[in-house]
A and B are shown apart, each in its own frame.
Chain A
Amino acid sequence: MPMDSQRSLTLADLIDLELALAADREADVAALRRRDGDIAAQLAATGIDPRRTTGPRLFLAWLDQWRAANGVATETSAGHRAQQLLAGIGLVLAILGIALGLSAVAGWLLPAGGIPINSIFFLGTLIGLQLPLLLLWIIPLIPRPWLRRIPGAATIHWLWGVVAQLPPRMVGWIVSKMSSDTGTLLGQLHGQYNRLSWIYGPLRLWLLVRLTQVFAVSFNLGLVTGFVFLSYGSDPAFGWKSTLLTEDQMYGATRAIATPWKWLPYDWVNNPTRDDVEHTRYWTTVNTYDRNMSDAWARWWPFLFAALTVYGLLPRLITLAISHWQVRANLKSIRLDHSEFDRLAERLARPQIDTQATEPETGDAFLKGQAASPSSLNEAFPRSGPILALAWAGVQASSGEMEQLVSQRLGGQVVARHTVGQLNPQEDAQALAQAAEHLGGSTNGRAALLVEVWEPPVADYIDFISALRKALGRNRPICVLLYDRDAEGRTVAARLSAARIWQDRLGQLGDPWLRVDSLVAEEAA
């Protein structure tokens, strides 16, 4: 995925980042390390050193890599969908605003009939009512220390805080009623937001304000366009009536209202003139109009158009621009430094070292799976007859002790003794040849092989036992006696765990006259 490391943080990015970090809270530590280690390496390859880069630049670069690794296109990410949802709400509000604006102005212009429209009420309802709302909007912008000097401003500020709490509570309620993916996504966003409201509170406020200003601009746009188009297709007459105002006062008021545009180099900026004001005054009860003054009735139109534009549309365009700028400024100034961002930065900055195996261990136990049949002296084994004792090199018992222990264990006398397993394997062959000779004439002779129980029964032993079987014949009893010693060097019963290994391994040979047991019986020890 192409990465623009210089781009600014968008709302979609912020939402995606927070959702990713929220998911990380439950994630496996090793998986996170691996993932962020890989991302750090990729960032380094693109010239971003995670140890030297901080803030949004680092996290945006991380997010791009994270999206690429998870196959999430920017256009389909949760953040983008949430941003689209906001844009959709904005669009609905815009359509609604235009429709309401058109309706409001149509309500004044269409049913006019033969009665002139009272400009005082016209402006009062369409513009005058908006001014307090505009004031409400301005108050949150005033720095807190200044608020104390404006009577009632602090209360309005507090009211704004309360109002700002309503949308998230409503979202919480709506989300609780949803069960779809969207509900889950919104629920995550909502929960995440509540946890981090201390960071994102101002941004949320300005996002909401921007939506309200989209509606306000659309409403005023509807008013202005409706005023223009309905005046073309109709002939509304504008005048004024008031019990309390004199014509001079009314003229003075129109001049004051026209202050913002009266310097323009057009003739209409002087409308309505003093005469127009005088001639367009009417009384409901008298119900008479000076129908010959049709120009004067129409000369109110540019004045009203300018008033709608300057006092209705223009301020809202400004507030929309300010809201938009505030959203951008908040996004730009977000420090992304709460604890989860700190941890992500640490994971990216930590040394990427891996010392573990690259591949899982395969079950390559070629000896396993064969049924082992442990055989001990408890099973049938002749208890009398001459014994040929073969001791593997390393068995540290003396000759006398060894002969005595073997006799005790197997019964009968040791008639010959050889050492096998010396460095030169040729010596084994000689011992085997002599062994066959020693037991050749005996029908009940037996062979005992002494091995150190702590030695693993490797192939060297197996080869020798097989060769011994071959030399002595199929039915000659052979016993492998396991030698063990304690810390003082005394011969003791073989430890069970090691003996079990010997029994398992030799049991795999399937030799019916092969026994494996401890040189010293457990009870004797």
Chain B
Amino acid sequence: MTSPVFVVVGRVNRGKSSIVSTLAADDSVRIDAMPGTTVHCREYPAVVAGQRLYTLIDTPGFERPRQALAWLQEHEGGTHERRDVVERFVRAHAGGEPFRQECELLRPILDSGAILYVVDGSKPPSPKDEAEMEILRWTARPRIALINVIDKPADGGSDFSAQWRQVLDQYFNLVRVFDAHEAQFEDRVRLLRTLREMDPQFVEPLTKAIDTLVEDRQFTLHEAAEAVADMLVEMLSLVEEKRLPRNAPTATAADRAALAQKYFEALRRRERRCHRQVQEMFLHRRLEIDEPELSPVGEDLFAEDTWIRFGLSRGQLVTAGAASGGAAGLAIDAAVGGHSFLLGAVIGTAVGGALGWYGAWQLPAVQVRGIPLGGRLLRIGPMRSANFPWIVLDRALTVMDLVICRSHAKREPVTLPLSDSRPGIVTQLPRDVRGAIETHFARLRKSPTAAELDTMRGELAETIEKIIADRHPPP
């Protein structure tokens, strides 16, 4: 099986590195508008189980394409030996000016690389682009052109894709539009499928690579769902305790405040860790998600605004609580063979709904408890608020959506929530899904055993995975 090499070429600031960054799912690729910052090629091999399936090579941009073409034309003996002339050009100028960058980018092409030529579709084509395309044509290698519209019309830019197509069709086997900054996983797979068409020899390795990527994606979604389920289980069962000194007359307000602060900080820390894990799972290691610390007006986990914007509305909480309680009551009715005349379901629905109404925004308070062997204990937790897990789930789903949909070429930080007017993701879930999740949450609030927690963790992860799969179906 031949492992194809795709050499990404184009001028500086045309989205070349963005395309590499997206295709390699690597947010460490340096994207710099200043020409000359990259003078060496950088390889991005796609390795599956130790086998290299294909390689992307990011190259320095053309610096003197017109002069390079002039040299080639000057030394051309006939159309049939154009590729040899390009090889002679690289040999003649290897390792020094004035054609250092041209030699650097042409070398992997001549070593049987296929060409991915990147142009900016928001700028019109000009005569000088012709020099680059002509040189690439002389290499006689398979070529595809990608039109990357950097400044979109929606942002005040222009779209010259149609003009570019007319020019590019003269020089390239395939021409595609690829928006590196908005490309999602599906676009990445679609582009790989296109690259497969460049050469029959590319079909086998690229098919294997695509299949593996899709499979890997499913594993990642599953892994992320488990991370969120873990977080929810740990946050809902978290308890902080502090033993009071034997000679202390009573618990001071400072003691209570310190313990409460420790508890809420632990919840925040756990949430941040989960968000970080999800980012890492989707390979957005450098993405900065701005989640400000506790402040009266910030978007902190416990800030009032967070509680309004994320989670379920009071009505939805009542519905979810009633559905969950009703299901539990129905189970009791079934257990007694229907002799309860559905009284269990009725009571369960009423109690569940009432808990949803009254317990929605109730945060736990520090309590003083006696210890059987003597002494007293300050204790806070576990979280009983009905809306709390919904808020945490909503924020986690928001982070997931963000990293799943985000191109690795994007560099700017993000602030949660994404938009002021945006409703929470959980509010849009179908009613039966909300009921199923509320059932999990209700069981978690009943201080289950470690064995039950482990089972619930798995069940909750399964439900979350279904939600993600519905929002992001496989390509």
Q: Which residues of A contact B (CB under 8 A)?
A: 28-30, 40-41, 44, 195-199, 338-339, 342-343, 346, 350-362, 364-368, 393-394, 396, 421-426, 452, 454-460, 463, 485-487, 497-498, 501, 504-505
* Complex Cα spacing A422 to B70, Å: 12
- Establish whether residues A339 and B28, one from each chain, have CB atoms under 8 Å apart when the complex forms: no
* Complex Cα spacing A339 to B455, Å: 8
Q: Known contacts A346-B222, A487-B158; decide if A366 and B39 are in contact (CB<8 Å).
A: yes
In the complex, which of the residues B34, B39, B130, B223 contacts A364, with contact meaning CB atoms closer than 8 Å?
B39
Complex interface: chain B residues within 8 A of A423 (CB):
66, 69, 127-128, 130-131
Give the contacts of B117-160 with A (CB-CB under 8 A): 120, 123-124, 126-128, 130-131, 153, 156-158
- Establish whether residues A497 and B66, one from each chain, have CB atoms under 8 Å apart when the complex forms: no
A-contacting 9-mer, from B43-51, B250-258, B322-330, B423-431:
B43-51
* Closest beta carbon of chain A to B96's beta carbon, Å: 13
Given contacts A198-B454, A355-B213, A456-B35, 7 further A-B contacts (CB under 8 A): A29-B277, A339-B230, A346-B223, A351-B216, A356-B24, A361-B30, A424-B66
- Shortest Cβ distance from B220 into A: residue: A350
- Establish whether residues B215 and A351, one from each chain, have CB atoms under 8 Å apart when the complex forms: yes
Complex interface: chain A residues within 8 A of B24 (CB):
355-357
* Closest beta carbon of chain B to A77's beta carbon, Å: 26
- Establish whether residues A358 and B64, one from each chain, have CB atoms under 8 Å apart when the complex forms: no
Within 8 Å of chain A (Cβ to Cβ): is B62? yes
Within 8 Å of chain A (Cβ to Cβ): is B315? no
Q: Known contacts A28-B280, A368-B34, A456-B13; decide if A425 and B70 are in contact (CB<8 Å).
A: yes
* Closest beta carbon of chain A to B469's beta carbon, Å: 16
* Closest beta carbon of chain A to B35's beta carbon, Å: 4
Within 8 Å of chain A (Cβ to Cβ): is B33? yes
* Closest beta carbon of chain A to B194's beta carbon, Å: 17
Interface size class on chain B is 35 or more
In the complex, which of the residues A352, A359, A486 contacts B48, with contact meaning CB atoms closer than 8 Å?
A352
- Establish whether residues B48 and A394, one from each chain, have CB atoms under 8 Å apart when the complex forms: no
- Shortest Cβ distance from A194 into B: residue: B450
Within 8 Å of chain A (Cβ to Cβ): is B79? no
Question: Mind listing 14 A-B residue pairs with CB under 8 Å?
Answer: A28-B280, A198-B449, A351-B48, A353-B48, A354-B45, A356-B24, A357-B24, A361-B28, A422-B66, A423-B131, A454-B120, A458-B36, A459-B35, A487-B157
In the complex, which of the residues A198, A346, A422 contacts B127, with contact meaning CB atoms closer than 8 Å?
A422
* Closest beta carbon of chain B to A26's beta carbon, Å: 8
- Establish whether residues B128 and A456, one from each chain, have CB atoms under 8 Å apart when the complex forms: no
- Establish whether residues B47 and A354, one from each chain, have CB atoms under 8 Å apart when the complex forms: yes
- Establish whether residues B67 and A425, one from each chain, have CB atoms under 8 Å apart when the complex forms: yes
- Establish whether residues A458 and B66, one from each chain, have CB atoms under 8 Å apart when the complex forms: no
- Establish whether residues B25 and A504, one from each chain, have CB atoms under 8 Å apart when the complex forms: no
A-B pair count, CB < 8 Å, reads 181
Scan B421-461; emit 1 where CB is below 8 A from any A CB, else 0. Answer: 00000000000000000000000000001110010011000
Q: Which residues of B contact A (CB under 8 A)?
A: 11-13, 23-26, 28-30, 32-40, 42-50, 56, 61-67, 69-70, 98, 101, 120, 123-124, 126-128, 130-131, 153, 156-158, 209, 212-213, 215-216, 219, 222-223, 226, 230, 277, 280-281, 283, 285, 449-451, 454, 457-458
* Closest beta carbon of chain A to B49's beta carbon, Å: 5
In the complex, which of the residues B13, B47, B280 contacts A29, with contact meaning CB atoms closer than 8 Å?
B280
Complex interface: chain A residues within 8 A of B69 (CB):
423
- Shortest Cβ distance from B62 into A: residue: A458
- Establish whether residues B226 and A343, one from each chain, have CB atoms under 8 Å apart when the complex forms: yes
- Establish whether residues B47 and A393, one from each chain, have CB atoms under 8 Å apart when the complex forms: no
In the complex, which of the residues A199, A353, A360, A457 contacts B35, with contact meaning CB atoms closer than 8 Å?
A457
* Complex Cα spacing A17 to B49, Å: 24
* Complex Cα spacing A422 to B128, Å: 7
Q: Known contacts A196-B450, A424-B70; decide if A353 and B61 are in contact (CB<8 Å).
A: no
* Closest beta carbon of chain A to B216's beta carbon, Å: 5
Complex interface: chain B residues within 8 A of A28 (CB):
280
- Establish whether residues A460 and B66, one from each chain, have CB atoms under 8 Å apart when the complex forms: yes
* Closest beta carbon of chain B to A323's beta carbon, Å: 25
- Establish whether residues A198 and B451, one from each chain, have CB atoms under 8 Å apart when the complex forms: yes
In the complex, which of the residues B26, B30, B213, B449 contacts A353, with contact meaning CB atoms closer than 8 Å?
B213
In the complex, which of the residues B25, B29, B216 contacts A350, with contact meaning CB atoms closer than 8 Å?
B216
Complex interface: chain B residues within 8 A of A355 (CB):
23-26, 44-47, 56, 213
- Establish whether residues A459 and B64, one from each chain, have CB atoms under 8 Å apart when the complex forms: yes
Complex interface: chain A residues within 8 A of B70 (CB):
424-426
* Closest beta carbon of chain A to B418's beta carbon, Å: 23
Q: Known contacts A41-B49, A361-B28, A423-B131; decide if A501 and B64 are in contact (CB<8 Å).
A: no
* Complex Cα spacing A468 to B438, Å: 75
- Shortest Cβ distance from B209 into A: residue: A353
* Complex Cα spacing A421 to B11, Å: 15
Complex interface: chain B residues within 8 A of A354 (CB):
45-47
Complex interface: chain A residues within 8 A of B454 (CB):
198, 338-339
* Closest beta carbon of chain B to A81's beta carbon, Å: 26
Q: Known contacts A351-B212, A357-B28; decide if A366 and B36 are in contact (CB<8 Å).
A: yes
In the complex, which of the residues A30, A361, A501 contacts B285, with contact meaning CB atoms closer than 8 Å?
A30
- Shortest Cβ distance from A350 into B: residue: B219
Complex interface: chain A residues within 8 A of B130 (CB):
423
* Complex Cα spacing A25 to B122, Å: 46
Complex interface: chain B residues within 8 A of A343 (CB):
223, 226
* Closest beta carbon of chain A to B429's beta carbon, Å: 24
In the complex, which of the residues A452, A458, A498 contacts B126, with contact meaning CB atoms closer than 8 Å?
A452
* Complex Cα spacing A454 to B120, Å: 10
* Complex Cα spacing A360 to B26, Å: 11
Complex interface: chain A residues within 8 A of B64 (CB):
458-460, 463
In the complex, which of the residues B13, B26, B209 contacts A356, with contact meaning CB atoms closer than 8 Å?
B26
- Shortest Cβ distance from B39 into A: residue: A364
- Establish whether residues B128 and A421, one from each chain, have CB atoms under 8 Å apart when the complex forms: yes
* Complex Cα spacing A459 to B39, Å: 13
- Shortest Cβ distance from A357 into B: residue: B44
In the complex, which of the residues A352, A356, A367, A421 contacts B28, with contact meaning CB atoms closer than 8 Å?
A356
Complex interface: chain A residues within 8 A of B219 (CB):
346, 350-351
In the complex, which of the residues B29, B35, B215, B277 contacts A505, with contact meaning CB atoms closer than 8 Å?
B35
* Complex Cα spacing A423 to B213, Å: 42
Complex interface: chain B residues within 8 A of A44 (CB):
49
- Establish whether residues B128 and A394, one from each chain, have CB atoms under 8 Å apart when the complex forms: yes
Complex interface: chain B residues within 8 A of A485 (CB):
158
* Complex Cα spacing A52 to B188, Å: 30
In the complex, which of the residues B25, B37, B66, B226 contacts A367, with contact meaning CB atoms closer than 8 Å?
B37
B98, B281, B454: most-surrounded residue (chain A CB, <10 A): B454
* Complex Cα spacing A467 to B61, Å: 22
Complex interface: chain B residues within 8 A of A368 (CB):
34, 37
- Shortest Cβ distance from A393 into B: residue: B127
- Establish whether residues A487 and B153, one from each chain, have CB atoms under 8 Å apart when the complex forms: yes
- Establish whether residues B45 and A41, one from each chain, have CB atoms under 8 Å apart when the complex forms: no
Complex interface: chain B residues within 8 A of A342 (CB):
458
Complex interface: chain B residues within 8 A of A364 (CB):
37-40
Complex interface: chain B residues within 8 A of A394 (CB):
124, 126-128
